[in-house]
Structure 1
Amino acid sequence: MPKAAPDGGAPDLLLTGVHQPDDMTPCDILLSGGRVAAIAPAGSHATVPPGTRRVEFDGRFVIPGLWDEHVHMNQWALTLGRVDLSGAAAAREAAAVVGAHVGGVRGGGVRDGGASSSGGRTLVGVGFRDAAWADAPSLELLDGTTGGVPVALISHDLHCVWLNSAAAVRYGVNPGPDGLLREEPAFALTRELGRLPDSDVDALVRSAGAAAAARGIVGIVDLEMVWNRDPWLRRIADGFDSFRVEAGVYPLDLDRAVAEGMRTGQQVPGGAGLLSVGPLKVLIDGSLNTRTAYCVDPYPHGGRGLLTVSESELLELLVRARDTGFVPAVHAIGDGANEVALNAFAAAGVKGRIEHAQFVRQQDFARFGELGLTASVQPAHALDDRDAADANWAGRTDRAFPLRSLLDAGATLALGSDAPVAPMEPWTTMSAATTRARGDGREPWHPEQALTRREALAASARGRSRIRVGDTADVVVLEGDPLTVDDAAFTAMPVAATLVAGRFSFGG
């Protein structure tokens, strides 16, 4: 049947025979008007509102809907048509993988990654991690395997692009002998590589959205580096209804957003109850893989990384956000950048989010709690980047990806993926947070920084650990108890159904 709008127009549902985690007493849950209207022992609902649909779940488990708190949705969707380099253990290996795909580009078999005036297609790869490579990327190396086919390879953290000469000419950039663009030049080229027809990008987003709903995601914070509101309005008008979206705004667009009366948390007219205004995203440093995260101590190769926004400039932005109704979300990875961000939040007297908080000085943990800040963290990065952290932050990784330290200091944790940096897969995210291991035979990495499963579930559901009457009817139905299944089952948790405001977005 057609899906009703998620703003209270969904028909009433009675979910029967379900369990809340760690509770073997079955219950029935009535969803009405987009809310949890009642919870009662199973079978006790003698009467329900007329027209209520009953759905039997035979003892399955229900949890609050899951959020991915940090996504670059266009970039994540675009990975579906790009060459995966995440398994490359060296620059030469990555170049060889790309070289094997060049024939497909010559034959028109690989999607173009951006506009070009010279004809032909650009091969786009994603996910390389050069921080732990023994050899180094170079223009000469990539030219040697790709010839005259333009090639652009985006690092897993999005802060670096490796080009060959043909791509450098096509896009009018000068990367130097290493073939690398970093930070803003890399971001600009990445945006250019994503300039496909709206219909193509939207189709990929629909596919990625359906996959996310099938894993229990009911909402995302989309921090794509574009003016984000209008693409989402277009997608929703065209039928997208997989999850809620909070669309972030960047400083470049803040004047426009303020002029249009936007503020964080505001429902966007025409968004069918799915779209709201997200935070003001401010990047103040780079990343670990690119060795541009701004640190107190120098990297082994020299330099402390990049502080791309000074403390005084950041304070000015936070004050502007405070005065215009925007919640600031400050990207800070290095311990130096986190210190700068905390100083600015304290001076501005505004609450907000620090995105990533990957490396924090011991004396700064308490400030997260004292300032009432949310640490928007991506636990899978701890496992993806453990070797890079050990190499570049040697002897100090007890305070890297410090989930337990942040939580114990009073920070509010919000878990996400930073997709495409890590997959948009909440169970992988929560597994990384609770085990600090991948099940690949390696010992857990700093297990003292792990969360409990209950903590990880709450940090993935905006603080909701159980379904309660009056909650928004964003609900996930699981095949097992997430608090008691073994680690392998938790990581691969089968989802039976996902509901957004009482409407099935998956299953049902």
Structure 2
Amino acid sequence: MTHRADTVILAETIHTLTEEQGHSAVAISDGRICALGDADSLATYISASTQIVDLGSATLTPGLIDGHIHPVLGLDISAGVDLSGVDNLDQLVETLRTARVVDGWVRGWGLDPNAFGGRPVTSDVVVTALGPDLPALLYLFDGHSALATPAALRIAGVDGPRAFSGNAEIVCQDGIPTGHLLELEAVSVVSAVVPLESAQQRRQRLTDLLGSMAAAGLTSANAMDFEGDSGELVTALEADIELPMRLRFAPFCMPGTDNEQLDHIVELQRRGGRRWRVDGVKFMVDGTIDGGTAWLDTPDSHGESTAPLWPNPAEYRHALRYLAKRGVPTVTHAIGDAGIRYALDSLADLPELPSGARHRIEHIETLPDDLVDRFAQQGVVASMQPTHCTHYTRADHSDNWSERLGTERADRAFRTRDIRDAGAILALGSDWPIAPFDARSIMADAQLRRRAGHVDDAPILPGQALTARMALEGYTSHAARAQGARDAGAIAVGHRADLTAFAVDPLRCPPDELADAPIVLTMVGGDVVHRADHVDA
């Protein structure tokens, strides 16, 4: 019996990412793909009510899945002035002097520590721009650190160092805070006193963000946050609209979490809606190399990055294994070589998850040779963000990240190709708002090992470049395997109709061209959530 299709999509090129190729039409019924073929062979699926979407010369692929974003936490981080284009301190002063003051505060985000040119990262330059009496909180690009002015520190009651559950720090000189806050526990002391947006404003910003992501081709994302008002926010939003993409949340598990709180994380796994669910837990075994809070085998050039974020890493291992044995997929932020090794050791010999999802390690920035094969051997997903390499490091190692590590460790940076060639699952993502969320640029950078469109940039370790197919798989088939989503990541009968259409062929066009190519159509569960103006229907 032939099912009548709700929608039939026609496209010159369809990359199914399965062995079944050569199709130019997809039939969709009840949110799932019910047939593949061409216009003639699918004619029997078409009735008077069937919507025909003719994409012409476009290329249709499985829907793009971002491996790592912070959609709710990112609302807080990305409030205020965008500082990601600031290259030096003079430019920072100029930018801050024109920044909007909202509820008596100046907020900013995306500040690259390279702008300090090797000088100490303090709030002195912010005071130069804004004066001594205006409170300001500026997030550095890594999202793990911030600058707070003396006025902001006074409001937060900060007048010296503090002890935290994890290895966070209010940086002080001679007992006086410099304004530099390292890691989220320290940043939250000040962010907690910043005036809050209204619930309506937050819903609108989240609506706009998800709409922009869908317009860039994303159909799903792994959301590494479920803190604060996340549950209430996404529930209220879904009461008003159909979410334009799927969200898979992983709440944080931070140092100091006890078994009762671990059981609460297990209970959270029951929460969800039509297009969102809690399915995982997010750990951070270390911080960042740029901030000097990563966990390295030997200290960086500043004598820093020598310890895990968890003062007693055995407590991280206990929490991870406790949750994993209760069926919770674990996600571990591990950037330094010692942190990656400890995370892999902690994941050893765990039983497979009933859901089919995989345990994951995020970022994996400097990776020794002896650890490369272990991802495939242990079945651990490598979740990586190519633009962390191309946006924040340089081929000549003159950037802050490389200078801290030294040549040997910087030469084993962001080893995406080695990990793929070893047979591991490699999921790609953005880490928004730490880097832009546009998958087209990220897939291009993964192939170029430089910023797309910056043809004069020298590639960074070009031997780690992915092929075009590997880059697309990182956003589709490999991302779906990482989630345990057996009905996603490919265009196949029975799979959910999450689809992305490009104006160019992402497997054949030059990467620089891919980065700027329009997204013609984005579909989630058979619903068109984005359509370019020129698409015929």
**Aligned residue in 2 for 1:178:** 178
Compared with structure 1, are the counterparts of its residues 54 and 241 closer, same or farther at alpha carbon in structure 2 (3 Å cutoff)?
Answer: same
- Confirm or deny: 8 A CA contact 2:502 2:517 kept in the other structure: yes
Shift of 1:414: 0.8
**Aligned residue in 1 for 2:59:** 61
Q: Which residue of 390, 395, 400 corresponds with 1:388?
A: 400
Amino acid at match of 1:445: I
- Confirm or deny: 8 A CA contact 2:114 2:400 kept in the other structure: yes
1:449-471: CA deviations, max 9, x gaps? 11111011111014377522222
Compared with structure 1, are the counterparts of its residues 136 and 260 closer, same or farther at alpha carbon in structure 2 (3 Å cutoff)?
Answer: closer
Shift of 1:149: 1.3
Amino acid at match of 1:371: Q
Q: For residues 11 and 346 of structure 1, what CA distance do their matches in structure 2 show?
A: 46
Q: How many residues align?
A: 480
* 1:140 has 2:141 as partner: no
- Confirm or deny: 8 A CA contact 1:68 1:460 kept in the other structure: yes
SS state at 1:251 partner: coil
SS state at 1:237 partner: helix
Q: For residues 444 and 194 of structure 2, what CA distance do their matches in structure 1 show?
A: 32
1:372-431: CA deviations, max 9, x gaps? 000111110001221233212222223111101111223211111111100111111111
**Aligned residue in 2 for 1:399:** 412
Unaligned runs of 5+ in 2: 160-169, 353-357, 394-398, 479-487, 532-536
* 1:287 has 2:288 as partner: yes
SS state at 1:195 partner: coil
Compared with structure 1, are the counterparts of its residues 434 and 262 closer, same or farther at alpha carbon in structure 2 (3 Å cutoff)?
Answer: farther
- Confirm or deny: 8 A CA contact 1:75 1:194 kept in the other structure: no
1:63-117: CA deviations, max 9, x gaps? 000011111112444566511212222345323421332xx42xxxxx34xxxxx
Matches within 5 A, 1:151-230: 151-174=136-159, 175=170, 176=172, 177-183=177-183, 184-190=185-191, 193=194, 195-224=196-225, 226-227=227-228, 228-230=230-232
**Aligned residue in 1 for 2:43:** 46
Shift of 1:25: 5.2
- Confirm or deny: 8 A CA contact 1:283 1:330 kept in the other structure: yes
1:169-194: CA deviations, max 9, x gaps? 12222453421111121245446548
Q: Which residue of 380, 385, 401 corresponds with 1:378?
A: 385
Shift of 1:21: 4.0
Q: TM-score, normalised by structure 2?
A: 0.83
Q: TM-score, normalised by structure 1?
A: 0.88
Amino acid at match of 1:124: R
SS state at 2:45 partner: coil
Q: Which residue of 70, 73, 93 corresponds with 1:72?
A: 70
**Aligned residue in 2 for 1:7:** none
Compared with structure 1, are the counterparts of its residues 409 and 260 closer, same or farther at alpha carbon in structure 2 (3 Å cutoff)?
Answer: closer
1:435-456: CA deviations, max 9, x gaps? 1011321111101111111011
Compared with structure 1, are the counterparts of its residues 80 and 159 closer, same or farther at alpha carbon in structure 2 (3 Å cutoff)?
Answer: closer
**Aligned residue in 2 for 1:14:** 8
**Aligned residue in 1 for 2:109:** 126
**Aligned residue in 2 for 1:118:** none
- Confirm or deny: 8 A CA contact 1:19 1:62 kept in the other structure: yes
Matches within 5 A, 1:236-255: 236-251=238-253, 255=260
Aligned residues with identical type, % of pairs: 26
**Aligned residue in 2 for 1:449:** 464
Q: Which residue of 325, 343, 368 corresponds with 1:361?
A: 368
Unaligned runs of 5+ in 1: 1-9, 106-110, 113-120
- Confirm or deny: 8 A CA contact 1:263 1:324 kept in the other structure: no
Q: For residues 51 and 260 of structure 2, what CA distance do their matches in structure 1 show?
A: 47
- Confirm or deny: 8 A CA contact 1:63 1:477 kept in the other structure: yes
Amino acid at match of 1:13: T
CA RMSD of aligned residues (A): 2.6
Q: For residues 191 and 419 of structure 1, what CA distance do their matches in structure 2 show?
A: 21
- Confirm or deny: 8 A CA contact 1:216 1:498 kept in the other structure: yes
- Confirm or deny: 8 A CA contact 1:315 1:348 kept in the other structure: no
* 1:428 has 2:441 as partner: yes
- Confirm or deny: 8 A CA contact 2:67 2:430 kept in the other structure: yes
Q: For residues 76 and 187 of structure 2, what CA distance do their matches in structure 1 show?
A: 16
Q: For residues 5 and 150 of structure 2, what CA distance do their matches in structure 1 show?
A: 58
Amino acid at match of 1:241: L
**Aligned residue in 2 for 1:3:** none
Q: For residues 188 and 70 of structure 1, what CA distance do their matches in structure 2 show?
A: 25
SS state at 1:433 partner: helix
